[in-house]
Amino acid sequence: MTYHDVTISEIRTTAVDFSFGELLNLHRDKEIIIRPEYQRLFRWSNEQRSRLIESVLMGLPIPPIFLIENENGVLELIDGLQRTSSALQFLDHVAIHEPELVLSGCDFMEELNGKTFNTLDSLLRLKVKRTPIRATIIHRAGSSFVKYELFKRLNTGGSLLSAQEIRNCSSRMVEGGDRFYDLIQNLAAYRPFKAAIARLPASMRDLRADEELVLRFFALIAAKDRFKGNIEEWLDGFMEDVLFERIRVDLGELESNFVETFDVIADTFGDQAFTRFNSHGEATGRLAPAYYEAVCASVSADPDNIRRQNPMEVIGKLREAFQSDDFKDATGPGANTVQKLYQRIDVVSHYLRS
């Protein structure tokens, strides 16, 4: 099936009202799967989870959740994890392997603060268990593309998931996507890579920016000519082309290239490869994506050239490249064009060869 083959008839949905108690039982019986890789299980704070329970007890409407039917007829939660898991944690924290939820931050029903499910009175316990939440079930479709697009569209534009988290989760909807996702995760944990990107802020790692850098490396190697101003669209398009076999790439070859490249970068530059240098020649600041692209593409094209040189001399050459007018021109305003990408790669390659 190609992109253009998707028809409305392939998308069948059913709306069902489940009580939270029913969701808990379905989860216990493994008839509903809650995959933590779809959304980090508890990005919500304890107060946010508590306020959901407070809203339930106040009788306020709860936004719907979305489930998709897998090949075995089991339902997988693809949107609404925060709401669902918060309620399940309150009802039975053991069932989802989380600490007991002690309510806090409730400001309309302050008497709830400090309560757990078991310390509520029986009427309130029943109200939580019996409160319905609308669930839209997306029935099994023959097209992986349909499932992929539905997940991406449900999550795009919200604040819960970063672009890379959506990519990671969406890839699970496609046959063979697990391998691609697992490769990205494994390489993001590769020690030389972690050393080389040490200047990436922790807050960005929390949003899987390190995994996005792995994907960016793959795209640089296999789809550099498709680079465009909107980086998310470039990376989305590359990943989708791989998953739906619009282009053919050898993942084993990409992995080998990645490992060799970052072995060389970490050994030679440490954490100084992707950042600016101050007037004293000292590396300063956080990782700069445009610098990352230029260095990765240059080193991956000829790693033996870097190995043959003295590391201190190579760092000096890289510093000169970054401070050159041509490189500044290629990383300033309008840098996200394919012409500027090639320009900054050429500048770095020229300096590292000299």
Structural domain count of the chain: 2
Is residue 96 scored above 90 in pLDDT? no
pLDDT at 164: 81
Q: What is the mean pLDDT of residues 214-220?
A: 96
Q: Kindly state whether residues 173 and 150 are assigned to the same domain.
A: no
Q: Kindly state whether residues 122 and 216 are assigned to the same domain.
A: no
Q: Kindly state whether residues 173 and 153 are assigned to the same domain.
A: no
Q: Which residue has the higher pLDDT, 294 or 136?
A: 294
Residue reference for tokens 């719907």: 64
Q: Kindly state whether residues 305 and 220 are assigned to the same domain.
A: yes
How far is 17 from 135, CA to CA, in rounded Å?
6
Q: What is the mean pLDDT of residues 129-156?
A: 74
Final residue before a domain boundary, out of 122, 142, 161: 161
Q: Kindly state whether residues 8 and 138 are assigned to the same domain.
A: yes
pLDDT at 37: 53
pLDDT at 255: 97
Q: Kindly state whether residues 80 and 139 are assigned to the same domain.
A: yes
Is residue 41 scored above 50 in pLDDT? no
Q: Kindly state whether residues 170 and 142 are assigned to the same domain.
A: no
176-to-22, 57, 103, 144 alpha-carbon distances in Å: 32, 43, 41, 10
Q: What is the mean pLDDT of residues 47-54?
A: 94
Q: What is the mean pLDDT of residues 110-123?
A: 96
Is residue 42 scored above 60 in pLDDT? no
| E-strand stretches of the chain | 13-19, 32-33, 65-69, 75-79, 132-138, 276-277, 283-284
How far is 214 from 176, CA to CA, in rounded Å?
18
How far is 104 from 86, CA to CA, in rounded Å?
13
pLDDT tens by residue, 152-181? 666 654 445 677 877 876 777 677 777 888
Domain that holds residue 213: 165-353
Q: Name the pLDDT band for 245 (thresholds 50, 70, 90).
A: confident
Q: Name the pLDDT band for 36 (thresholds 50, 70, 90).
A: low
Q: Kindly state whether residues 174 and 299 are assigned to the same domain.
A: yes
pLDDT at 1: 31
Choose among 86, 339, 67: nearest CA to 228.
339
Mean pLDDT, rounded, of the chain:
87
Final residue before a domain boundary, out of 161, 191, 215: 161
- pLDDT-above-90 percentage for the chain: 60
Q: Which residue has the higher pLDDT, 5 or 102?
A: 102
Q: What is the mean pLDDT of residues 171-193?
A: 87
pLDDT tens by residue, 75-91? 888 778 888 989 999 99
pLDDT at 292: 97
Cα dihedral across residues 67, 183, 247, 230: positive or negative: positive
Q: Kindly state whether residues 239 and 100 are assigned to the same domain.
A: no
How far is 50 from 174, CA to CA, in rounded Å?
35
pLDDT at 161: 63
Final residue before a domain boundary, out of 161, 178, 200: 161
Q: Kindly state whether residues 19 and 52 are assigned to the same domain.
A: yes
What's the Rg (C-alpha) of the chain?
24
Q: Kindly state whether residues 152 and 273 are assigned to the same domain.
A: no
Q: Name the pLDDT band for 341 (thresholds 50, 70, 90).
A: very high
Q: Kindly state whether residues 100 and 149 are assigned to the same domain.
A: yes
Q: What is the mean pLDDT of residues 9-17?
A: 75
pLDDT at 35: 67
